[in-house]
Chain A
Amino acid sequence: MLKIMEGSHAVAEAVRLCSPDVVSAYPITPQTHIVERLAEMVADGDLDSEYICVESEFSALSACIGASAAGSRVYSATSSQGLLLMTEAVFNVAGMRLPVVMSIANRAVGAPLSIWNDQQDSLALRDAGWLQVYGEDVQEMTDLHFIAYKVAEDHNILLPAMVCFDGFILSHTYEPVDIPTQEEVDAYLPAFDPFQKLDVTNPISMGMYATPEYYLEFRYENDQALTRAGDAIREAGHLFGEQFGRDYSTLTEGYRLEDAETVFVGLGSICGTVRESVDRMRETGRKVGLLKIRSFRPFPSDEVKAALSGAQQVAVLEKNISLGSAMKGAVGLEVSAAVGKTGPEVYSYVLGLGGRDITPADIAAVADAAEKGDGNRFYGLRTEVL
Chain B
Amino acid sequence: MVDKSLELFDCGHRACGGCGPALAARLILKGAGEKTIVVASTGCMEVFSTPYPETAWKVPWIHSVFENAAAVASGIEAALKKQGRTDEHVVCICGDGATFDIGMLCISGAFERGHDITYICYDNEAYMNTGIQRSGATPYDASTTTSPAGRESTGNSINKKDMPAILAAHGSPYVATASIAYPADLMQKVEKAVNTKGPCYIQVQCPCSTGWGFDGAKTIAMGKLAIETGLWVNFEMVNGKVVRSKKVVNRKPVEEYLRAQKRFRHLFRPEVNKEEVAKIQAIADANAEKFGIDVDITK
A71-B83 contact, Cβ under 8 Å, with A55-B112, A203-B58, A205-B61: yes
Closest B residue to A210 by CB, please name it.
B52
Instruction: Tell me, yes or no, whether A220 is within 8 Å of chain B by CB.
Output: no
A22-B34 contact, Cβ under 8 Å, with A54-B71, A203-B57: no
> Could you tell me the distance in whole angstroms from the C-beta of B39 to the nearest C-beta in chain A?
7
A175–B47 Cα gap in the complex (Å)? 52
Q: Are A206 and B106 in contact (CB under 8 A)?
A: no
A207-B64 contact, Cβ under 8 Å, with A54-B109, A56-B105: yes
A49-B62 contact, Cβ under 8 Å, with A22-B75, A58-B68: no
Q: Are A72 and B63 in contact (CB under 8 A)?
A: no
A66-B36 contact, Cβ under 8 Å, with A205-B50, A207-B62, A214-B52: no
Q: Are B75 and A66 in contact (CB under 8 A)?
A: yes
> Could you tell me the distance in whole angstroms from the C-beta of A116 to the nearest C-beta in chain B?
28
> Could you tell me the distance in whole angstroms from the C-beta of B55 to the nearest C-beta in chain A?
4
Closest B residue to A49 by CB, please name it.
B82
Q: Are B75 and A89 in contact (CB under 8 A)?
A: no
Q: Are A211 and B65 in contact (CB under 8 A)?
A: no
Q: How large is the interface on B (under 10, 10 to 19, 20 to 34, 35 or more residues)?
A: 35 or more
> Could you tell me the distance in whole angstroms from the C-beta of A83 to the nearest C-beta in chain B?
16
Instruction: Tell me, yes or no, whether A59 is within 8 Å of chain B by CB.
Output: yes
Within 8 A of A (CB), among B228-258: none
Q: Are A59 and B74 in contact (CB under 8 A)?
A: yes
A65-B79 contact, Cβ under 8 Å, with A200-B36, A208-B52: no
For B35, give its contact among A58, A200, A202, A209 (CB under 8 Å).
Answer: A200
Contact residues in A for B169 (Cβ distance below 8 Å): none
For B53, give its contact among A56, A64, A200, A214 (CB under 8 Å).
Answer: A214
Within 8 A of A (CB), among B81-138: 81-83, 88, 105-106, 108-110, 112-113
Instruction: Tell me, yes or no, whether B141 is within 8 Å of chain A by CB.
Output: no
Per-residue CB proximity of B212-234 to A under 8 Å, as 1/0?
00000000000000000000000
Contact residues in A for B59 (Cβ distance below 8 Å): 200, 203
Closest B residue to A206 by CB, please name it.
B62
Contact residues in A for B61 (Cβ distance below 8 Å): 203-206
Closest A residue to B37 by CB, please name it.
A198
Contact residues in B for A140 (Cβ distance below 8 Å): none
Q: How large is the interface on A (under 10, 10 to 19, 20 to 34, 35 or more residues)?
A: 35 or more
Per-residue CB proximity of A56-76 to B under 8 Å, as 1/0?
101100111111111110100
Q: Are A68 and B64 in contact (CB under 8 A)?
A: no
Instruction: Tell me, yes or no, whether A92 is within 8 Å of chain B by CB.
Output: yes
A59–B75 Cα gap in the complex (Å)? 9
A89-B65 contact, Cβ under 8 Å, with A67-B78, A72-B83: yes
A210–B110 Cα gap in the complex (Å)? 29
> Could you tell me the distance in whole angstroms from the C-beta of A49 to the nearest C-beta in chain B?
7
Q: Are B64 and A58 in contact (CB under 8 A)?
A: no
Instruction: Tell me, yes or no, whether A84 is within 8 Å of chain B by CB.
Output: no
A204–B53 Cα gap in the complex (Å)? 11
Instruction: Tell me, yes or no, whether B17 is within 8 Å of chain A by CB.
Output: no
Contact residues in A for B109 (Cβ distance below 8 Å): 54-56, 59
A15–B46 Cα gap in the complex (Å)? 35
For B75, give its contact among A62, A96, A199, A202 (CB under 8 Å).
Answer: A62
Instruction: Tell me, yes or no, whether A50 is within 8 Å of chain B by CB.
Output: yes
Contact residues in A for B36 (Cβ distance below 8 Å): 200
A208-B75 contact, Cβ under 8 Å, with A59-B106, A203-B57: no
Instruction: Tell me, yes or no, whether A242 is within 8 Å of chain B by CB.
Output: no
Instruction: Tell me, yes or no, whether B190 is within 8 Å of chain A by CB.
Output: no
A69–B110 Cα gap in the complex (Å)? 18
> Could you tell me the distance in whole angstroms from the C-beta of B92 to the nearest C-beta in chain A?
10
A21-B79 contact, Cβ under 8 Å, with A55-B108, A66-B39, A200-B35: yes
Contact residues in B for A68 (Cβ distance below 8 Å): 75, 79
> Could you tell me the distance in whole angstroms from the C-beta of B152 to the nearest C-beta in chain A?
36
- Which of A24, A63, A207 counts the most chain B CB atoms within 10 A? A63
Contact residues in A for B79 (Cβ distance below 8 Å): 21-22, 50, 66-68, 70-72, 74
Q: Are A89 and B62 in contact (CB under 8 A)?
A: no
A208-B65 contact, Cβ under 8 Å, with A22-B82, A54-B74, A56-B109: no
Q: Are A74 and B75 in contact (CB under 8 A)?
A: yes
> Could you tell me the distance in whole angstroms from the C-beta of B32 to the nearest C-beta in chain A?
11
Q: Are A207 and B63 in contact (CB under 8 A)?
A: yes
Closest A residue to B75 by CB, please name it.
A66
> Could you tell me the distance in whole angstroms from the C-beta of B89 to the nearest C-beta in chain A?
9
> Could you tell me the distance in whole angstroms from the C-beta of B122 to the nearest C-beta in chain A?
17
A256–B55 Cα gap in the complex (Å)? 57
Contact residues in A for B81 (Cβ distance below 8 Å): 50
> Could you tell me the distance in whole angstroms from the C-beta of B54 to the nearest C-beta in chain A?
8
A11–B82 Cα gap in the complex (Å)? 23
Contact residues in A for B62 (Cβ distance below 8 Å): 66, 69, 198, 205-207
A22-B78 contact, Cβ under 8 Å, with A54-B71, A66-B71, A89-B65: yes
Contact residues in A for B55 (Cβ distance below 8 Å): 205, 208
A198–B60 Cα gap in the complex (Å)? 5
Contact residues in A for B53 (Cβ distance below 8 Å): 208, 214
Within 8 A of B (CB), among A22-78: 22, 24, 49-50, 52-56, 58-59, 62-72, 74
For B83, give its contact among A21, A63, A92, A96 (CB under 8 Å).
Answer: A21
Contact residues in B for A198 (Cβ distance below 8 Å): 37, 60, 62, 76
Contact residues in B for A204 (Cβ distance below 8 Å): 60-61
For B71, give its contact among A21, A58, A70 (CB under 8 Å).
Answer: A58
A-B CB contact pairs (8 Å), 8 listed: A24-B75, A62-B71, A62-B72, A65-B75, A66-B64, A207-B62, A209-B46, A209-B52
A residues with a Cβ closer than 8 A to B are 21-22, 24, 49-50, 52-56, 58-59, 62-72, 74, 88-89, 92, 96, 198-200, 202-211, 214
B residues with a Cβ closer than 8 A to A are 34-37, 39-40, 46-47, 50-53, 55, 57-65, 68, 71-83, 88, 105-106, 108-110, 112-113
